[in-house]
Amino acid sequence: MLIRPAQMGDVKKIQHLVNSYAQKGKMLPLSLHDIYEGLREFSVAEKDGEIIATCALHFCWENLGELRSLAVQVEHMNQGIGHQLVEDKIKEAKEYGIKSIFVLTYRGQFFTAVGFVPIDKSQLPHKVWADCVKCVKFPDCDESAFVYKMGED
- The most distant pair of C-alpha atoms in the chain lies apart, rounded to whole Å, by 43
For residue 1, the model assigns a pLDDT of 92
124-139 confidence digits (pLDDT tens): 765 555 555 555 555 5
Question: Is pTM beyond 0.85 here?
Answer: yes
25-80 confidence digits (pLDDT tens): 888 899 999 999 999 999 999 999 999 999 999 998 888 999 999 999 999 999 99
Domains of the chain: 2-74+81-149 (3.40.630.30)
For residue 137, the model assigns a pLDDT of 55
